[in-house]
C-alpha cells in the first residue's frame, strides 16, 4: 500500500512526531511510505528521518518574515505573508496560508492510506483528499472533557475510516462522546524507537525522569516527593532530562528543599537509551499522560516505574507491583513513599524491572507495525471499493451500552434505606479485607466515606466484585482530574478499576429507571476512599474533608452509628461539628377537610353577619379549603427526604384524614381547641391559626411550618433551614408587597402591609418582599417574643374567624422579618418549584418537576382554573405517586 503520514511540523521535538516517524519506518519494509509535513521550520528534523522514507514539505517557514509555499507559483510572497497572519477557515491550529497549500496538495495526492496525527489535519484530509483514500486519524492526546480541540475531533472523526487512540480508556470515552456516529475506533500504542535496546543493572542510586519541563509534568511535585525522603536515601540522586517553561519553578523547588547536590537538570539529550541504562527507577509525576514514552523507554531498559495514576496512560502501561508502582493521583507523599520503598529494596527493583522488561516487548516497533497492518487491511476490506462517505453510510452504527437501574426493584425504598444498604455493603467489604479501615461521617455538604489504605484497594475491589449486593446499587467512578464520571454494574466496574489506582469510588443506587430520575437519584451515595500511606506510615487523604488530611497510623477508633450502621470512626468524627445542627426539629402542618359537610355548615354559619373582607372569595371562598390529597403526599415527602424530623404535629379543626394512623408515635394530632381561645373558635383563618402554633404542647424549639401544599423535592438536611446556632432561614420571593394599601388587595397583601407598619414603628426599617412558597423555619421562643411585643395585633388576628383587613401573617412573613431585625433569622436561598394548578400548562409544569432538581415544591391553587377539575384531578393522581412512590409508615393500608 501507498501510505502517507500527514504531520503539522516534522521538525518539532514532540512525542507524536517521533512516534509517527518510528511507525512509518517500521512499515516501510512492506509498504511505500512517505511523510508529508505541512511546515518546514528548521534546516533538519529534530528526530532523524530514515532514508527509506520520502519526506516532503508543503510550506517553508524557516524565515518567518517570508513564508514560502514549496509549490511554485502558488501565491506571491507579499500575499503569502498576509495569509500567514490570517486565521484558518479549516482548523484553529492552522493559518489561511496553510489552507491554501493544503487545498493545492491534498486533492492530487496519489496514495491509498493517509494517517493524520493531529485533529487540525483530520478535517482537511476528510474534505480534500480523493474519495478513495482511506483516512486514519491517530490521536496522541489523552482524551477528556478538558482537552482543547476536541470539538474539531468530534466533528470530523465520524468521516474517518478509523480513529486510533493510545489507550482503552480514551477509546471508551470517544465511543461514548460520538455515540452512533463513531467510526471504527482501535487502540494502538506508540512504538519504541527501532533498535532501542538499553539494559540497566539497577545498581546505581539514580531516579530519572524525562520530558518537557512544563506544568502538566508537575516536576516540582516530583522534587518535593524526593525531598520528603532524601534524608533516608543519602546516596540517591534525582535527574530530570528535558527543557521547558517550568525549569525555573523546578529549580526554586530544589532550593526550597536544599537539594542542590541531589537533583540534576542537565537539559535535553538525544541519547536517552544510554541514560536509561544508568537509571534504577523511572519517576512520572504528570497530571495526565496520553501514553508516557518515558515509561515505555525505561521499561525497555528493565527500569521499574513509579507514577501518579491518571485516568489514561500510566494505568495502561504500568501494572502495579509487577512492572512498577502506581500511587493515587496527585498524592505527593504517596509518591515519596513509593520512591523510598523501591529505592530501599534491591530485590523489589529487580523483580519489577524484570516485569517491566517483559511487558515492554509488546511496544517493539515490529510488533506495533503488525497491528497496523491489520488495521489497514480491515479498513480496505470495509471499503470494498466504495467511497469514504458511502462506506460509512453502509457501516452499522456503533452501539452504546446503555445501563441504568431499569431492572432493579426499588419499590418501597427510601433514600435513607438505600444509604444504609450502600454503607453496610462498603463496611462489610472493608472489614473483610483489612483491619485498617474507618468511616468519616457525612453531613449536609459531603457524603459519608469509608476509608481504607491504598494497599487494600485491590482486595476491596475483588471482594466487592464477588459480593452479594442489591441490584439497585451500582458503582460510580467519580469525575476527577478532568475526566468525566462513569457508572457501572458493581462487579464489572470493580474489576475494570484494577487497571489504575484511583482513590475514590462511590456506591449508590442507579439514578434512573427508563431514563427518568428515581426517588433514589440524589442524596444516597456512600464514598469509598483509598488513602495513600506516607513514608512514616500515616494515612493521607486524597481530597479534603472536614477533619484531617493526615491520620497517624495508630490513632484509636470508637464505635459509632451512621445511617443505622455500626461503624468504626475517630472520637472527633463521632461528635457533631460546629457546621451541623445538633438540636431536634419538628414539623407543624395546618390542614382542613373542606369536603366535610359539618365543617362547611359551621363555616357558612360563621359567615352570617360578617361584612367586608371576610365575604370575599380570597378570604372565605370554598376554593381556599379544597383538599386534593396534598397532605398525604406532603407527609410522604417528609418520610422520604427528611427522616431526621423528630415529630410531626398536624393541626386541624377536630378532623382526621381517613388514611392517617394517629397511633404512630411520630404523629401528634392537635385540635384548634388545644391552642386557641374558645372565643376565637371556630376559625377559618390561617392567619389566626398561625398566631397559636407555638403553643403546641411538646413542640420543639425549632420547627418547620408547612402548608399542606408544600413538598420536599429531594433529600434535605436541617442545615437547609437552620444555622448550627439555631437561627432560622428566611426564604424570600422575588415578588414585592407593593407600595400602598388598596381596598381590593388580596388579604395576604393586606397582612404583609400590616406587618410592615408594625415593624417600621418598632425598628424604623421597611419590608419589601413576600416570602417564598417554601417551608417556614421557626423558633418557639421568637414567636413568644413577638406575641408579647405586639399583643394587640396578634390577639386581634387570633380572633378573626376569616382573613381580615387587620390581620398580621405571623408565621408566613412577620416572624421572618422580625428575626432579620433582631438577629434570629438570616436570608437563605430556596431551590423552589412553584406549580400553579390554575394554569393551562399545569401538565407541562408537573412533568418538568419530575426531573427532581428542586429542594421544595409548592402546588399553588386558585379559584379559577384553565383545566376541567376532572382533568386536574387526573393529572395529580398520576403525578403524586410518580414523585412520591413510597407510602409513609403512618398511612393506613400503606
* Average confidence (pLDDT) over 50-75: 92
Burial of 681 (0-12, 13-18, 19+ CB in 10 A): middle
pLDDT at 620 over 60: no
Q: How far is CA 827 from CA 306, 565, 765, 819, 820, in A?
A: 51, 35, 16, 10, 8
Helix 869-883 vs helix 842-849: crossing angle, to nearest 10: 0
- Residues 61 and 81: beta-carbon distance below 8 Å: no
CA 706 to chain CA centroid, Å, is: 32
135 secondary structure, DSSP code: E
- Please write the tens of the pLDDT for every residue from 841-882: 999 999 999 999 999 999 987 666 777 888 988 999 999 999
* 134 band by pLDDT with thresholds 50, 70 and 90: very high
Q: Which cell numbers hold the place of 314? A: 500510566
According to DSSP, the β-strands at 512-513 and 516-517 are: antiparallel
* Secondary structure, 3-state, 722-740: ECCCCCEEEEEEEEECCCC
- Is the pLDDT confidence value at 554 over 60? yes
Query: What domains, with CATH codes, occur in the chain?
Result: 2-187 (3.40.50.2000), 206-363 (3.40.50.2000), 415-574 (no CATH), 585-832 (3.90.550)
Output b/e per residue, 190-229; b: 16+ Cβ within 10 A: bbbbeebebebebeeebbbbbbbbeeebbbbbbbbbbbbb
Set of cell numbers at residue 469: 449486593
Q: What is the pLDDT of residues 795-837, one digit of tens each?
A: 999 999 998 889 999 999 999 999 999 999 999 998 999 998 8
For position 894, what pLDDT does the model report?
A: 53
- How do 449-453 and 438-440 pair as beta strands? antiparallel
Q: Which residues contact 674 (CB under 8 A, 6 or more apart)?
A: 695, 696, 697
* Helical segments of 207-320, H only: 219-229, 247-256, 272-276, 293-300, 314-317
Q: How far apart are CA 438 and CA 569, in angstroms?
A: 5
CA-derived radius of gyration, the chain: 35
Q: Residue 386 and residue 802: Cα distance in Å, rounded?
A: 82
- Model pLDDT for residues 253-268, shown as the tens digit of each residue: 999 999 999 999 999 9
Confidence band for 500, pLDDT divided at 50, 70 and 90:
confident
pLDDT tens digit sequence for 315-365: 889 999 999 999 999 899 999 999 999 999 999 999 999 999 999 999 999
Query: 624 pLDDT exceeds 60?
Result: no
DSSP state of 396: P
Label residue 402 by pLDDT band (50, 70, 90): very low
Longest CA span, the chain: 110
End-to-end CA distance of the chain: 73
Sheet holding 54-60, edge to edge: 68-69, 54-60, 32-40, 2-9, 113-116, 134-138, 162-165, 184-187
| Mean pLDDT of the chain, nearest integer | 91
pLDDT bucket at 746, cuts 50 / 70 / 90: confident
pTM across the whole model: 0.87
Grid look-up 455515540 returns: 179
Q: Judging by DSSP bridges, how do beta strands 486-488 and 473-477 pair with one another?
A: antiparallel
* Contact status, residue 39 vs residue 151, Cβ threshold 8 Å: no
Q: Are 56 and 45 in contact (CB under 8 A)?
A: no
Q: Is 38 helix (H, G, I), strand (E, B) or coil?
A: strand
Q: What is the residue whose three cell numbers read 400548562?
A: 841
Model pLDDT, residue 863: 60
Distance CA 331, CA 304 (A): 19
> Residue 400's pLDDT is what?
47
Do 545 and 442 contact (CB within 8 A), yes or no?
no
pLDDT 10s digits, 258-296: 999 999 999 999 899 999 999 999 999 998 888 889 999
Amino acid at each position: 500500500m501507498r501510505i502517507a503520514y500527514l504531520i503539522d511540523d516534522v521538525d518539532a521535538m514532540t512525542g507524536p512526531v517521533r512516534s509517527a516517524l518510528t511507525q512509518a519506518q517500521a512499515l516501510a519494509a512492506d509498504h511505500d511510505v512517505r511523510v508529508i509535513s505541512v511546515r518546514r521550520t528548521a534546516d533538519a528534523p529534530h528526530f532523524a528521518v530514515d532514508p527509506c522514507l520520502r519526506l516532503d514539505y508543503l510550506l517553508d517557514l524557516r524565515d518567518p518574515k517570508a513564508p514560502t509555499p514549496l509549490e511554485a507559483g502558488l501565491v506571491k510572497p507579499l500575499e503569502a505573508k498576509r495569509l500567514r497572519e490570517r486565521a484558518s477557515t479549516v482548523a484553529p491550529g492552522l493559518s489561511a496560508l496553510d489552507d491554501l497549500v493544503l487545498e493545492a496538495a491534498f486533492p492530487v495526492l496519489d496514495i491509498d492510506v493517509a494517517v493524520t496525527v493531529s485533529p487540525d489535519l483530520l478535517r482537511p484530509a476528510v474534505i480534500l483528499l480523493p474519495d478513495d483514500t482511506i483516512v486514519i486519524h491517530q490521536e496522541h492526546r489523552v482524551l477528556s472533557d478538558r482537552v482543547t480541540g476536541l470539538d474539531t475531533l468530534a466533528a470530523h472523526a465520524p468521516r474517518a475510516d478509523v480513529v486510533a487512540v493510545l489507550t482503552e480508556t480514551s477509546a471508551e470515552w470517544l465511543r461514548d462522546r460520538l455515540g452512533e456516529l463513531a467510526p471504527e475506533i482501535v487502540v494502538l500504542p506508540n512504538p519504541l524507537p527501532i533498535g532501542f535496546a538499553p539494559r540497566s543493572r539497577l545498581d546505581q542510586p539514580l531516579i530519572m525522569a524525562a520530558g518537557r519541563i512544563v506544568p502538566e509534568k508537575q516536576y516540582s511535585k516530583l522534587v518535593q516527593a524526593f525531598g520528603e525522603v532524601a534524608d533516608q536515601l543519602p546516596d540517591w540522586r534525582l535527574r530530570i532530562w528535558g527543557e521547558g517553561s517550568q525549569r525555573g519553578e523546578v529549580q526554586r523547588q530544589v532550593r526550597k528543599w536544599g537539594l542542590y547536590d541531589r537533583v540534576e537538570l542537565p537539559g535535553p539529550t538525544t541519547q536517552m537509551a544510554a541514560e536509561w541504562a544508568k537509571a534504577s527507577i523511572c519517576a512520572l509525576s504528570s497530571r495526565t499522560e496520553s501514553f508516557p514514552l518515558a515509561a515505555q523507554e525505561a521499561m525497555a531498559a528493565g527500569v521499574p516505574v513509579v507514577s501518579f495514576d491518571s485516568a489514561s496512560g500510566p494505568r495502561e502501561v504500568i501494572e502495579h507491583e509487577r512492572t512498577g508502582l502506581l500511587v493515587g493521583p496527585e498524592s505527593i507523599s504517596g509518591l515519596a513513599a513509593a520512591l523510598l520503598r523501591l529505592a530501599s529494596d534491591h530485590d523489589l527493583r529487580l523483580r519489577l524491572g524484570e516485569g517491566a522488561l517483559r511487558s515492554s516487548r509488546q511496544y517493539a516497533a515490529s510488533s506495533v507495525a503488525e497491528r497496523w497492518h491489520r488495521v489497514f487491511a480491515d479498513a480496505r476490506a470495509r471499503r470494498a471499493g466504495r467511497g469514504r462517505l458511502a462506506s460509512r453510510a453502509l457501516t452499522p452504527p456503533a452501539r452504546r451500552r446503555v445501563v441504568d437501574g431499569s431492572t432493579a426493584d426499588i419499590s418501597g425504598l427510601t433514600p435513607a434505606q438505600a444509604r444504609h444498604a450502600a454503607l453496610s455493603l462498603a463496611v462489610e467489604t472493608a472489614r473483610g479485607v483489612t483491619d485498617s479501615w474507618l468511616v468519616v461521617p457525612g453531613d449536609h455538604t459531603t457524603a459519608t466515606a469509608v476509608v481504607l489504605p491504598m494497599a487494600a484497594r485491590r482486595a476491596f475491589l475483588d471482594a466487592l466484585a464477588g459480593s452479594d449486593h442489591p441490584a439497585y446499587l451500582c458503582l460510580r467512578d467519580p469525575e476527577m482530574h478532568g475526566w468525566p464520571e462513569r457508572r457501572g454494574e458493581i462487579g464489572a466496574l470493580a474489576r475494570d478499576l484494577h487497571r489504575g489506582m484511583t482513590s475514590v469510588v462511590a456506591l449508590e443506587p442507579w439514578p434512573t429507571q427508563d431514563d427518568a430520575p428515581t426517588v433514589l437519584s440524589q442524596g444516597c451515595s456512600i464514598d469509598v476512599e483509598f488513602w495513600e500511606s506516607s513514608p512514616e506510615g500515616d494515612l493521607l487523604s486524597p481530597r479534603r474533608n472536614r477533619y484531617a488530611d493526615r491520620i497517624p497510623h495508630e490513632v484509636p477508633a470508637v464505635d459509632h452509628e451512621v445511617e443505622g450502621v455500626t461503624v468504626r470512626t475517630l472520637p472527633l468524627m463521632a461528635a457533631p461539628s460546629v457546621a451541623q445542627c445538633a438540636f431536634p426539629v419538628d414539623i407543624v402542618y395546618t390542614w382542613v377537610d373542606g369536603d366535610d359537610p359539618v365543617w362547611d355548615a359551621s363555616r357558612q354559619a360563621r359567615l352570617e353577619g360578617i361584612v367586608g373582607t371576610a365575604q370575599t372569595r380570597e378570604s372565605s371562598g370554598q376554593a381556599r379549603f379544597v383538599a386534593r390529597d396534598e397532605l398525604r403526599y406532603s407527609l410522604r415527602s417528609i418520610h422520604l427526604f427528611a427522616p431526621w424530623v423528630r415529630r410531626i404535629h398536624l393541626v386541624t379543626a377536630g378532623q382526621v384524614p381517613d388514611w392517617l394512623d394517629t397511633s404512630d408515635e411520630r404523629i401528634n394530632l392537635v385540635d384548634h381547641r388545644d391552642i386557641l381561645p374558645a372565643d376565637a373558635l371556630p376559625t377559618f383563618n390561617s392567619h389566626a391559626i398561625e398566631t397559636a402554633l407555638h403553643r403546641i404542647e411538646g413542640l420543639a424549639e425549632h420547627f418547620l411550618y408547612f402548608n399542606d401544599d408544600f413538598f420536599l423535592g429531594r433529600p434535605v438536611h436541617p442545615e437547609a433551614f437552620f444555622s448550627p446556632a439555631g437561627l432560622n432561614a428566611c426564604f424570600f420571593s422575588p415578588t414585592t408587597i407593593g407600595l400602598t394599601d388598596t381596598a381590593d388587595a388580596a388579604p395576604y397583601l393586606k397582612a404583609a402591609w400590616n406587618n410592615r407598619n408594625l415593624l417600621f414603628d418598632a425598628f424604623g426599617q421597611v419590608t419589601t418582599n413576600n416570602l417564598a412558597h417554601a417551608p417556614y423555619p421557626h423558633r418557639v421562643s421568637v414567636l413568644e417574643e413577638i406575641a408579647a411585643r405586639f399583643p394587640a395585633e396578634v390577639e386581634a388576628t387570633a380572633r378573626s374567624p376569616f382573613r381580615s383587613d387587620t390581620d398580621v401573617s405571623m408565621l408566613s412573613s412577620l416572624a421572618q422579618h422580625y428575626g432579620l431585625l433582631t438577629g434570629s433569622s438570616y436570608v437563605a436561598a430556596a431551590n423552589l418549584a412553584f406549580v400553579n394548578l390554575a394554569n393551562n400548562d399545569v401538565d407541562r409544569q408537573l412533568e418538568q418537576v419530575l426531573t427532581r432538581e428542586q429542594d421544595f415544591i409548592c402546588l399553588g391553587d386558585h379559584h379559577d382554573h384553565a383545566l376541567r377539575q376532572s382533568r386536574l384531578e387526573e393529572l395529580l393522581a398520576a403525578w403524586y405517586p410518580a414523585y412520591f412512590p413510597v407510602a409513609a409508615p403512618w398511612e393506613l393500608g400503606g
